[in-house]
Structure 1
Amino acid sequence: MAWKSSEKIKWGILGCAAIAEKSLIPAFKKAQGAELVAIASRSAAKARDWVEKFNLPKSYGSYEDLLADKEIEAVYIPLPNHLHFEWTVRALRAGKQVLCEKPLALTASEVMEMFHQAEANKRLLMEAFMYRFHPRLAKAIELLESGAIGEPRLVQSAFTFVFNREQDNYRRSPQMGGGALYDVGCYTVNAARLVFKAEPQAIWATGHLDDKAGIDLTTSVLCNFPGSRQALLASSFELEFQSSLEISGEAGSLYLNRVFSAKDFPTEILLRQNDKLTSFNFPPVDQYQLMVEHFGQAMAGRVNPLVDFHDSFGNALVIEKAVKSILKGKFSSL
Structure 2
Amino acid sequence: MIEKIRWGILGCAAIAEKAFIPALKKSKRAELLAIASRDWSKARAWADKFGIKKAYGSYDELLADPEIETVYNPLPNHLHHPLTMAALRAGKHVLCEKPLGLTAAEVKEMFTEAERQKCLVMEGFMYRFHPRLARALELLRDGLIGEPRLVRSTFAFIFDRDRGNYRWSPEMGGGALYDVGCYTINAARLVFKTEPEKISATAHLDEQTGIDLTSSLLCTFPGDRQALLTCSFELEFQSSLEIAGSLGRIVLDRAFSAKHFETEIQITRGQKTELIKFPPADQFLLMIEHFGEAIQGRTRPLLDFQDSYGNALAIEEALRQIRAK
Q: TM-score, normalised by structure 2?
A: 0.99
Q: Work out whether 1:92 is the aligned partner of 2:93.
A: no
The residue aligned with 2:78 is 82
Aligned to 1:181: 177
Counterpart in the other structure of 1:171:
167
Residue number in structure 1 paired with 2:251: 255
CA deviation after TM superposition for structure 1 residue 165, in Å: 4.4
Partner of 1:3: none
Partner of 1:159: 155
Once the two structures are superposed, what CA deviation does each residue of 1:180-210 show, in whole Å capped at 9, x if it has no partner? 0000000000000000001000000001001
Q: Distance in 2 between matches of 1:63 and 1:106?
A: 20
- Please give the TM-score of this superposition, normalised by the length of structure 1: 0.96
Q: Is the counterpart of residue 127 in structure 1 residue 114 in structure 2?
A: no
SS at 2:260's partner residue? Answer: coil
**Equivalent position to 1:223, from 219, 227, 234:** 219
Quick one: distance in 2 between partners of 1:125 and 1:327? 30
Report the CA distance between 1:110 and its aligned residue.
0.5
CA-CA distance at 1:257 after TM superposition: 0.4
Q: Which of the numbers 267, 283, 287 marks the counterpart of 1:287?
A: 283
Secondary structure of 1:248's aligned partner? strand
**Contact 1:180/1:237 (8 A) holds in 2:** yes
**Secondary structure, aligned partner of 1:20:** helix
Aligned-pair distance for 1:7?
A: 1.3
Q: Distance in 1 between matches of 2:176 and 2:142?
A: 34
Tell me which amino acid in the other structure corresponds to 2:153: S
**Partners in 1 of 2:324 and 2:274 — Cα distance?**
43
CA RMSD, aligned part only? 0.8
CA distance in 2, matches of 1:198, 1:328: 26
The residue type equivalent to 1:134 in the other structure is H
**Distance in 2 between residues matched to 1:244 and 1:192, nearest whole Å:** 12
**In 1: Cα distance, 2:310 partner to 2:286 partner:** 24
Query: What do residues 195-233 of structure 1 show as CA deviations (whole Å, max 9, x unaligned)?
Result: 000100000000100121110000000000000100000
Q: Percent of aligned pairs with the same residue?
A: 66
Of 119, 130, 146, 1:150 maps to 146
Counterpart AA for 1:83: L
Q: C-alpha deviations, 1:92-147, integer Å up to 9, x for none?
A: 00010000000000000010000000000000000000000000000000000000
Deviation track 1:46-95 (CA, whole Å, cap 9, x = no partner) reads: 00000011111110000000000000000000000000000000000001
Structure 2 equivalent of residue 34 of structure 1: 30
Q: Which residue of 1 aligns with 2:98?
A: 102
Residues matched between the structures, number: 324
Give the whole-Å Cα distance in 1 for the aligned partners of 2:139 and 2:273: 14
CA distance in 2, matches of 1:327, 1:100: 26
- Give the Cα separation in 2 of the matches to 1:31 and 1:51: 18
How far apart, CA to CA, are the structure 2 residues paired with 1:65 and 1:51? 15
Partner of residue 332, structure 1: none
Determine if the alignment matches structure 1 residue 199 to structure 2 residue 195.
yes
Structure 2's unaligned 5+ residue stretches are: none
For 2:54, which of 33, 53, 58 is the aligned residue?
58
> Where do residues 44-55 of structure 1 align in structure 2 (5 Å cutoff)?
44-55=40-51
Asked if residue 8 in structure 1 is aligned to residue 4 in structure 2, the reply is yes
Q: What is the distance in 2 between the residues matched to 1:83 and 1:328?
A: 25
